[in-house]
Amino acid sequence: MQDFGLATKCLRAGYTPKNGEPIALPIVQSTTYKYESSDAMGALFDLEADGYFYTRLANPTNDAVAAKIAALEGGVAGVLTSSGQAANLFAVLNLCSAGDHVVASTAIYGGTFNLFNVTLRRFGIDFTFVSPDCDDETLEAAFCENTKAVFGETLSNPSLNVFDIERFAAAAHRHGVPLIVDNTFPTPVNCRPFLFGADIVTHSTTKYMDGHATQVGGVIVDSGNFDWTQNDKFPGLTTPDDSYHGVTYTERFGKAAFITKCVAQLMRDLGSIPSPHNAFLLNLGLETLPLRVKKHCENAQAVAKYLQNNKNVSWVSFPGLPGDPEYAKAQKYMPHGTSGVISFGVKGGRAAATKFMDALRLCNIVTHVADARTCVLHPASTTHRQLTDAQLEECGVKPDLIRLSVGLEDVEDILADLEQALAVATA
Ligand code: PLP
């Protein structure tokens, strides 16, 4: 597609109806596709012809939405996954086998931390976690002979650390490995990680991209910029795949090697695809993404300012607030806004935080962020409850932290609800 602006791509990329075809992206709710001859279908299995044969590998609705998100990120190809968890899992598994190692930021979503620190370790993949603000010596020391990737979150959930993409990309590239970043919170509306040197982007599309709390999904996008053949670290991409007719992905697919391998191997074997209906719902969300993200950020800026001046609030973390430790990095990487998510502490600690939550009338207590409706959560007692206090500290999650995902309601209504709940909590 011609290089249109982001809002145009949100509406138009991935699907261009021809004469007389539906204007809305059709839901191809079919597991399988019919062919006139065995040879015609055989050519698809040999990856010699383009076409669909089984939805676990590819589906027209899913592909259109993946292509749209790839266009938004400025990548060469993308694949949808059944969840954000699956996107991060597959991004790592596409590069790592048992015996390999990844350098990861400590400031990442609790579910990703657990996936890496517990589940993938059980499968023999090792991780070294470094603070996103670590010194250069610590970062260098984290790399090993068997390191295959570096992983971080552009804006971390829930600690709202702004990842120094350029710094971590440079370190990864010095060691001949790619930088994978999870760009869920800013979305490509607020941050385009490929412009700063990231190689692979993942998302939980469950969040702002959907924005209406209707589907769980994920996506992986490849920039196409990383040269997999520069060293012998990635034999899965640069040597024949015995499980797929001996294809060598880098030779056959060039810049699309990473995503093609992810589909042909991981989707084939592990099968974490979204339903086409979910991809359709995600696409509806994407159509209005720039409008919604702008409004989320405006509302959040007003709420953050209000909280900062409220006597019942002990601290506020919002990278859009001048004076916030992340402000300078936010201005560099996401100058038009970070996200609608704010963290803050209620005076009186854990007990007061719980009273505050229970007193809310409009804001919903849910295990979710980035919804059109304002959502609130106390991570230490919910999403992050599997982590020890020390691990919580490592992830930057204080025990009294309230995560507030500011929605699209009239901001006066959100402020009024916070005001009355804070008064109850600290009475
Ligand atoms: N990455 C980030 C930054 C998240 O916030 C989440 C979920 O909250 C995930 C990944 C996991 O996504 P999902 O819930 O879609 O599996």
Which atom of ligand 1 is least distant from the CA of 184? 3
The Cα–Cα gap between 184 and 112 comes to 12
What tens digit of pLDDT does each residue of 46-81 get?
778 888 989 999 999 999 999 999 999 999 999 999
Report how far ligand 1's centroid is from the alpha carbon of 175 (Å): 28
187 within ligand 1 shell (Cβ under 6 A) = no
Question: Residue with the nearest Cα to atom 15 of ligand 1?
Answer: 84
- Mean pLDDT taken over the chain: 95
What percent of the chain has pLDDT above 90?
87
Report how far ligand 1's centroid is from the alpha carbon of 85 (Å): 6
CATH of domain 6-285: 3.40.640.10
Q: Work out the pLDDT band at 158, boundaries 50, 70, 90.
A: confident
What tens digit of pLDDT does each residue of 379-419 get?
777 777 776 767 767 766 687 889 999 999 999 999 999 99
* Ordered alpha helix ranges (H), 222-378: 235-238, 249-253, 257-261, 268-270, 276-287, 289-308, 327-333, 349-359
User: Residue 187: what pLDDT?
Assistant: 98
Which residue in this structure is represented by tokens 């709940």? 421
Report how far ligand 1's centroid is from the alpha carbon of 243 (Å): 31
265 within ligand 1 shell (Cβ under 6 A) = no
111 within ligand 1 shell (Cβ under 6 A) = yes
- Packing angle between helix 60-73 and helix 276-287, nearest 10 degrees? 30
184 within ligand 1 shell (Cβ under 6 A) = yes
Q: Which tokens belong to 203?
A: 């998302």
326 within ligand 1 shell (Cβ under 6 A) = no
Strands (E), 318-426: 341-346, 364-365, 375-377, 401-405
Average pLDDT over residues 330-347: 96
Single pTM value for the model: 0.96
For residue 193, give every residue at least 6 positions away whose Cβ sits within 8 Å of its Cβ, in sequence order, or none: 73, 154, 165, 181, 183, 201
**Residue 290 above 60 pLDDT?**
yes
Substitution candidate for ligand 1 out of 92, 207, 273 with most atoms within 8 A of CB: 207
User: Residue 193: what pLDDT?
Assistant: 98
What does the domain layout of the chain look like in residue ranges?
6-285, 293-425
User: Residue 44: what pLDDT?
Assistant: 84
What tens digit of pLDDT does each residue of 83-126 get?
999 999 999 999 999 999 999 999 999 899 999 999 999 999 99
What percent of the chain has pLDDT above 70?
98
The Cα–Cα gap between 366 and 378 comes to 9
Question: Residue with the nearest Cα to atom 11 of ligand 1?
Answer: 84
What tens digit of pLDDT does each residue of 219-269 get?
999 999 999 999 999 999 999 999 988 999 999 999 999 999 999 999 999
The Cα–Cα gap between 364 and 374 comes to 6
Examine residue 188 and say whether the peptide bond preceding it is cis (omega within 30 degrees of 0). no
What tens digit of pLDDT does each residue of 128-153 get?
999 999 999 999 999 999 999 999 99
User: Residue 21: what pLDDT?
Assistant: 97
- Please give the single-letter amino acid code of residue 17: P
Question: Is 293-425 CATH 3.60.15.10?
Answer: no
What is the chain's length?
A: 427
Tell me which H or E stretch contains 105. strand 101-105
